[in-house]
Chains A and B, each alone.
Chain A
Amino acid sequence: MKLNRRVFLGTASAAAAALSAPAVMGQARPRVVVIGGGSGGGTAARYLATDSDGALDVTLIEPSRMYYTCYFSNLYMGGFWDFDKLGHDYGNMALRGVNIIHDWAMAVDRDAQTVTLGSGGKVSYDRLVVSPGIDFVDGAVPGWDVSKQSLMPHAYKSGTQAQLLKAQVENMREGGTYCMVAPPNPYRCPPGPYERISMVAHVLSERNPTAKILIVDPKENFSKQGLFEEGWQTHYPGMVERIGPDFGGDRVEVRPDEMEVIIDGMVEKVDVCNVIPAQKAGKIAELAGLTNDAGWAPVKPEDMRSLMDDNVFVLGDASQQGAMPKSGFSANSQAKVVSNVIRGELTGSRVFPARYSNTCWSLIATNDGVKVGASYEPGAEQIESVSSFISQTGEDAELRRQTFEESIGWYNGIVADIFG
């Protein structure tokens, strides 16, 4: 009994000593917690773990065991990409030293520097990276909410929704109408809705050539508009009609149970309806108190650090950083900047000036790929676009095929960069 007591006391005092020891002792590695395992968070977690060579304790909190990329989910709908090839697991990331917790981040206590998990546990951090992607704005399209997403899929977070929408398009009645309610700015993947239109048109032109496509759009114009419209005219003549705000595209509601879309008071019966509502930062960013009135998390242009908290960084679609579009490429690019900065702060490694870039490829039809891209620099207030390029209308077929092949190369590259 005495011996036990002595052992107990000895252990306790050793533990107390360890607790009071400074981090430089080595036992307590600085802790970085990453919320969200997509293109932003996944890249950040991987780079933090591998580049710090074990000097950082990196934890990734991501509820899904399998991540399905949003990018290339349109190609899957068009029959140009396999569903299985959209999915990526976290095995390699774990092997690279990231502690993966498959759970929801329910709350962030920024004073205590802890994240509460859905299972009730808490994870503490020295630096927090928040990369939750998007959520939809409640009531953005009257009549629609997530309880109606089986009748009118958004298919804007990939996975099962993409499968569902693809099946609905393929099984649409002959001569039926596919309707897309397009989102207002800003939203993830600016050319995404219009690439989807192209892919749906591709499927319908082969299976159901008398079908119609109707886009109800609150925006005056959209990315790569000239390229898409030229492509629709060439490949799918007469199939696509777009109603912009001048004809009520910004005054739309839906009745999912009746499969009706009401555009500026006029009722349209449709057969498939793809509702992509207005967007905001993923819920956890809001719960953590990182968002502004617009629903996005504002960050500093030089390092994506939250304006609300110096220990927190927000990446990708959820952030409000300025001129970069919300895209997987942007998030991946931002994550590398953040990883470099956090390692510098916690391990003393060298910090380099931010370099940001983005390219978005889109497929219009078989072997007809286009792209848009830009480079970005931090400005005083926000990230600025300093140069941009875009595919030209009237390009020859060979160049378009090359652009499409380049996009496949990019996809394989970015998923290897994150999950490989």
Chain B
Amino acid sequence: MPKHSLLALLMAGAVFAPAAAIAQAVPIGNPVAGAELYQYECAACHQIGEDAEHRIGPHLNRIFDRRAGSHAEFRYSEALARQGRDGLHWDFVRLDAYIENPRSLVSGTNMAYPGLEDPVERADLIAFIRAFSDQPQNIPEAAPTAFAPEVRLPPEVLAIEGDPEYGAFLSAECTTCHQRSGAHAGIPGIVGWPEEDFVVAMHAYKKRLRPHEVMQNLAQRLDDEEIAALAAYFAKLGRD
């Protein structure tokens, strides 16, 4: 399930994937940015960290994997308590939905918060909050700390050196929609991507792991060399 929201984030243009190693776990978000956001967005009502106590809202230590409305000593809205009894547990997907719009997940919640629209900001915030819940090294069943890399490519595929000239030829098919200038409106920009990210993304379409029928179909007939060539071309286009 986290995969889906990750894909949603990637679709929304939020790519955190570090360029260094490709089979690398993808972080939930940036916890440092999240800490700052927490101060603005959450801290007035929710304490977190050592000695955190319930205030207007319950403290958020060990929120991950917790059943909603389960601090016996905190007075929740009946709506939230009922959702908890119905089995709502807090994980990345539910927290993300709740922070985006509390009332859409729990209509009747007491949480008077308008919601946080930006998926990247939400991910950062959740990455910060995650650190105050159980850690898998101590509790192996605890919520994941990152997302799986979306596609695993053998190193020799990643090592293919793309031929940018061939890529320039192939790119004609792409630039029908993706502008050479890198401008993006409605269609994401693809100019200047790190080559490995580009290769991984194209293979993810080819394997139909990334959702988008047009891209999935286009990727089908590209072989490993051609994907590398395109990656080289668009990366170079970004540098020129």
**Closest residue to A378 on the B side, CB-wise?**
B24
Contact B25 A384 (CB under 8 A): yes
B216 CB to nearest chain A CB (Å):
24
Compute how far the CA of A415 lies from the CA of B139 in the bound complex, rounded to whole angstroms: 25
- Give the segment of B104-112, B142-150, B200-208, B217-225 that binds chain A: B142-150
Contact B142 A388 (CB under 8 A): yes
**Is the C-beta of B18 less than 8 angstroms from some C-beta in chain A?**
yes
Q: Interface residues of B, CB < 8 Å — how many?
A: 29
Contact A325 B152 (CB under 8 A): no
Compute how far the CA of A360 lies from the CA of B139 in the bound complex, rounded to whole angstroms: 11
**A352-B155, A379-B146 given; A374·B23 CB < 8 A:** no
Compute how far the CA of A324 lies from the CA of B146 in the bound complex, rounded to whole angstroms: 13
Compute how far the CA of A107 lies from the CA of B90 in the bound complex, rounded to whole angstroms: 48
- Give the segment of B46-54, B68-76, B130-138, B182-190 that binds chain A: B130-138
- When distances are taken between beta carbons in the complex, the residues of chain B under 8 Å from A360 are 140
**Is the C-beta of A380 less than 8 angstroms from some C-beta in chain B?**
yes
**Closest residue to A220 on the B side, CB-wise?**
B62
- When distances are taken between beta carbons in the complex, the residues of chain A under 8 Å from B135 are 185, 323
**Is the C-beta of A354 less than 8 angstroms from some C-beta in chain B?**
yes
Compute how far the CA of A215 lies from the CA of B146 in the bound complex, rounded to whole angstroms: 33
A59 CB to nearest chain B CB (Å):
30
Compute how far the CA of A218 lies from the CA of B136 in the bound complex, rounded to whole angstroms: 18
- When distances are taken between beta carbons in the complex, the residues of chain A under 8 Å from B24 are 302, 377-380
Contact A377 B137 (CB under 8 A): no
Contact A326 B144 (CB under 8 A): no
Compute how far the CA of A176 lies from the CA of B20 in the bound complex, rounded to whole angstroms: 59
Contact B141 A353 (CB under 8 A): no
Contact A377 B146 (CB under 8 A): yes
**Is the C-beta of B27 less than 8 angstroms from some C-beta in chain A?**
yes
- When distances are taken between beta carbons in the complex, the residues of chain B under 8 Å from A367 are none
- When distances are taken between beta carbons in the complex, the residues of chain A under 8 Å from B141 are 223-224, 372, 374, 388-390
Compute how far the CA of A323 lies from the CA of B144 in the bound complex, rounded to whole angstroms: 9
A269 CB to nearest chain B CB (Å):
31
**Is the C-beta of A114 less than 8 angstroms from some C-beta in chain B?**
no
- When distances are taken between beta carbons in the complex, the residues of chain A under 8 Å from B146 are 377, 379, 384-386
B17 CB to nearest chain A CB (Å):
10
Compute how far the CA of A220 lies from the CA of B147 in the bound complex, rounded to whole angstroms: 27
- When distances are taken between beta carbons in the complex, the residues of chain B under 8 Å from A416 are none
- When distances are taken between beta carbons in the complex, the residues of chain A under 8 Å from B2 are 387
Compute how far the CA of A373 lies from the CA of B139 in the bound complex, rounded to whole angstroms: 10
Compute how far the CA of A87 lies from the CA of B186 in the bound complex, rounded to whole angstroms: 65
**Is the C-beta of B21 less than 8 angstroms from some C-beta in chain A?**
yes
Contact B155 A353 (CB under 8 A): yes
Contact A325 B25 (CB under 8 A): no
**A323-B135, A378-B24, A384-B25 given; A190·B140 CB < 8 A:** yes
Compute how far the CA of A388 lies from the CA of B62 in the bound complex, rounded to whole angstroms: 17
A69 CB to nearest chain B CB (Å):
19
Which of A351, A376, A378, A384 has the most C-beta atoms of chain B within 10 angstroms of its own C-beta? A384
B21 CB to nearest chain A CB (Å):
6
Compute how far the CA of A387 lies from the CA of B25 in the bound complex, rounded to whole angstroms: 11
Q: Which residues of A contact B (CB under 8 A)?
A: 185-186, 190, 219-224, 302, 322-326, 350-354, 358, 360, 372-380, 383-390
12 A-B residue pairings within 8 Å (CB atoms): A185-B137, A220-B62, A325-B140, A352-B154, A358-B140, A360-B140, A377-B25, A377-B149, A384-B145, A385-B144, A386-B147, A388-B142
List of 9 A-B pairs having minimum Cβ-Cβ separation, nearest first? A384-B146, A377-B25, A353-B23, A384-B25, A390-B141, A385-B136, A386-B148, A379-B25, A323-B136
Known A384-B145, A387-B148, A388-B143; 5 more pairs at CB < 8 Å: A323-B136, A353-B155, A377-B146, A385-B146, A390-B140
